[in-house]
């Protein structure tokens, strides 16, 4: 998790100095053509943010101008959930995908939670419905059901506990069961099974971005960058993970780079992750395969500006679904802290 220092952005002078500082960091990454029209947008977003008191949370896959430019808090899905739960702000804008905004709303129901584009979905969340979960429960009576947070609140409501890529191994182990239904990411489930003695019954959901990586592509990257460390997200297939040097959530990859300070890395994950890290770690050379998440890319500075200006788009969850889904998310946070199964 990263926090941007909150600056006095009420005056145009303070915003101008913030934008000048951002220019130093972002111009080399974005290039002049992209950067110049962004300056006015950044100024207006920073002004509206100060005026509305909104708290902006951004996932590690967000565009650099959002991640570095205007976010108050950044991190992986787990950190964003924890930060949303702790926030005292009455208005949060989630720059990420819809399930992340729903999770923030579940954990902080009194706050207004906005997402700049309601269409920002996720192929994993699309892969399973509440009816599917109910049918699995009938097929496997008594088997606990863990769902990846990359699902709708309605799916979370049918499950016993959530997990993220950062805590999935810990959550599955903490349940103390011999068999667990693990939904919907097949590859994350296979990774968790390889790290635990638990038998996992899996669903065939995949991330449309991470399933594009293949072991052959990693071999190519290794030949091209023989001194680079290959860092992979556990949403990749087992063959890809076996060909990587490190496997972890987006926050775990960020920590790895901060602590190990490798000279060169290949990011086996969504493209903005390495671009965002490269601004923070000039000592490391970042390579990637330029696979963007089309849902994350829907969130732009222009849409964030409209969101702040017009209060759009508010995330709301049916109360019955919300109370059951909240139980699953809260159980994850308790088990993650070492609480009771
Ligand atoms: P993290 O929780 O590791 O940030 O992953 C979220 C995600 O959607 C990865 O594709
Ligand atoms: Fe979903 Fe994959 Fe995009 Fe993450 S990268 S939000 S898992 S589609």
| Closest atom of ligand 1 to CA, residue 269 | 10
Contacts for 184-189 with beta carbons within 8 Å, 24 or more apart? Answer: 184/124, 184/127, 184/128, 184/147, 184/148, 184/150, 184/151, 184/155, 185/124, 185/148, 185/150, 185/235, 187/211, 187/234, 187/235, 187/236, 187/237, 187/238, 187/241, 188/148, 188/234, 188/235
Q: Using the mean position of ligand 1's atoms as its centre, give its distance from the Cα of residue 190 in Å.
A: 16
- Strand (E) or helix (H) holding 147: strand 145-148
In the structure encoding, which two tokens stand for residue 27, read together?
Answer: 């111009």
According to the model, what pLDDT value does residue 9 have? 73
**Cα–Cα distances in angstroms (integers) from residue 104 to residues 20, 93, 187, 219, in the given order:** 32, 10, 25, 39
Does pTM top 0.85 for this prediction? yes
CB distance 60 to ligand 1 below 6 Å: yes
According to the model, what pLDDT value does residue 11 have? 87
In terms of Cβ atoms closer than 10 Å to its own Cβ (0-12, 13-18, 19+), residue 194 is middle
Backbone angles phi, psi at 2, to 5 degrees: -125, 150
Q: How many residues does the chain have?
A: 341
CB distance 150 to ligand 2 below 6 Å: yes
- Strand (E) or helix (H) holding 114: strand 112-114
Report strand pairing: 91-95 vs 112-114. Answer: parallel
pLDDT band at 83 (very low <50, low <70, confident <90, very high): very high
Q: Using the mean position of ligand 1's atoms as its centre, give its distance from the Cα of residue 76 in Å.
A: 6
CA 260 centroid distance within chain = 22
Upstream peptide bond of 184 is cis (omega within 30 degrees of 0) = yes
- What mean pLDDT comes out for the span 159-172? 98
Among the listed residues 117, 46, 106, the one whose alpha carbon sits nearest the alpha carbon of residue 293: 117
Distance between first and last Cα of the chain: 26
Helix axes 319-336, 77-86, angle to 10 degrees: 110
* pLDDT tens sequence across 6-30: 446 768 889 999 999 999 999 999 9
In the structure encoding, which two tokens stand for residue 229, read together?
Answer: 């460390």
For residues 20 and 4, what is the distance between their CA atoms, to the nearest angstrom? Answer: 16
pLDDT at 341 over 80: no
pLDDT band at 144 (very low <50, low <70, confident <90, very high): very high
Among the listed residues 50, 73, 109, the one whose alpha carbon sits nearest the alpha carbon of residue 308: 50
pLDDT at 4 over 70: no
- What mean pLDDT comes out for the span 294-318? 98
CB distance 249 to ligand 1 below 6 Å: yes
pLDDT band at 339 (very low <50, low <70, confident <90, very high): low
For residues 36 and 279, what is the distance between their CA atoms, to the nearest angstrom? Answer: 18
| Closest atom of ligand 2 to CA, residue 294 | 3
Q: Return the number of other C-beta atoms located less than 10 Å from residue 68's C-beta.
A: 21
Share of the chain above pLDDT 90, in %: 95
CB distance 295 to ligand 2 below 6 Å: yes
- What mean pLDDT comes out for the span 91-103? 98
pLDDT at 284 over 60: yes
Share of the chain above pLDDT 70, in %: 96
Q: Which segment of 13-17, 75-79, 267-271 scores lowest on mean pLDDT?
A: 13-17
* pLDDT tens sequence across 202-239: 999 999 999 999 999 999 999 999 999 999 999 999 99
Ligand nearest to the CA of residue 165, numbered in listed order: 1
Per-residue b/e over 110-146, b at no fewer than 16 CB within 10 Å? ebbbbbbbeebbbbbbebbebebbeebbeeeeebbbb
- What mean pLDDT comes out for the span 121-144? 98
CB distance 76 to ligand 1 below 6 Å: yes
pLDDT band at 106 (very low <50, low <70, confident <90, very high): very high
| Closest atom of ligand 2 to CA, residue 270 | 5
- Residues ≥6 apart with Cβ < 8 Å to 17: none
- Strand (E) or helix (H) holding 75: strand 73-75
pLDDT band at 166 (very low <50, low <70, confident <90, very high): very high
Q: Using the mean position of ligand 1's atoms as its centre, give its distance from the Cα of residue 73 in Å.
A: 16
- What mean pLDDT comes out for the span 151-166? 98
The residue that leads in pLDDT, 341 or 210, is 210
Is residue 286 within 8 A of residue 274, CB to CB? The reply is yes
* pLDDT tens sequence across 21-57: 999 999 999 999 999 999 999 999 999 999 999 999 9
For residues 84 and 115, what is the distance between their CA atoms, to the nearest angstrom? Answer: 13
């Amino acid at each position: 998790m990263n926090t941007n220092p909150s600056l006095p952005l009420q005056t145009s002078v303070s915003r101008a100095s913030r934008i000048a500082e951002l220019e130093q960091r972002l111009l080399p990454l974005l290039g002049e053509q992209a950067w110049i029209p962004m300056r006015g947008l950044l100024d207006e977003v920073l002004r509206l943010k100060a005026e509305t008191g909104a708290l902006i949370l951004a996932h590690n896959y967000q565009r650099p101008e959002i991640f570095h430019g205007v976010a108050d808090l950044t991190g992986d899905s787990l950190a964003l959930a924890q930060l949303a739960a702790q926030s005292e702000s009455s208005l949060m804008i989630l720059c990420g995908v819809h399930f992340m905004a729903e999770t923030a709303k579940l954990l902080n129901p009194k706050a207004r939670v906005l997402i700049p584009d309601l269409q920002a979905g996720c192929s994993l969340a699309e892969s399973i419905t509440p009816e599917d979960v109910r049918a699995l429960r009938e097929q496997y009576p008594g088997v606990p059901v863990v769902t990846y947070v990359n699902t709708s609140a309605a799916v979370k409501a049918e499950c016993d506990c959530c997990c993220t890529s950062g805590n999935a191994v810990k959550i599955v182990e903490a349940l103390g069961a011999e068999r667990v239904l693990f939904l919907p990411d097949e590859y994350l489930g296979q990774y968790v099974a390889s790290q635990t003695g638990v038998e996992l019954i899996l669903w065939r959901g995949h991330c449309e971005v991470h399933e594009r990586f293949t072991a052959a592509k990693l071999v190519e990257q290794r030949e091209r960058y023989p001194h680079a460390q290959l860092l992979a997200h556990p949403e990749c297939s087992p063959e890809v993970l076996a060909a990587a040097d490190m496997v972890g959530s987006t926050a775990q990859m960020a920590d790895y780079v901060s602590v190990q300070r490798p000279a060169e890395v290949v990011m086996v994950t969504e493209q903005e992750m390495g671009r965002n890290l490269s601004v923070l770690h000039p000592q490391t050379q970042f390579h990637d395969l330029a696979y963007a998440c089309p849902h994350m890319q829907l969130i732009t500075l222009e849409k964030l500006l409209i969101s702040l200006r017009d209060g759009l788009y508010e995330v709301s969850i049916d109360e019955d679904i919300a109370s059951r889904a909240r139980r699953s998310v809260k159980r994850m946070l308790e088990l993650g802290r070492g609480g009771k199964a």
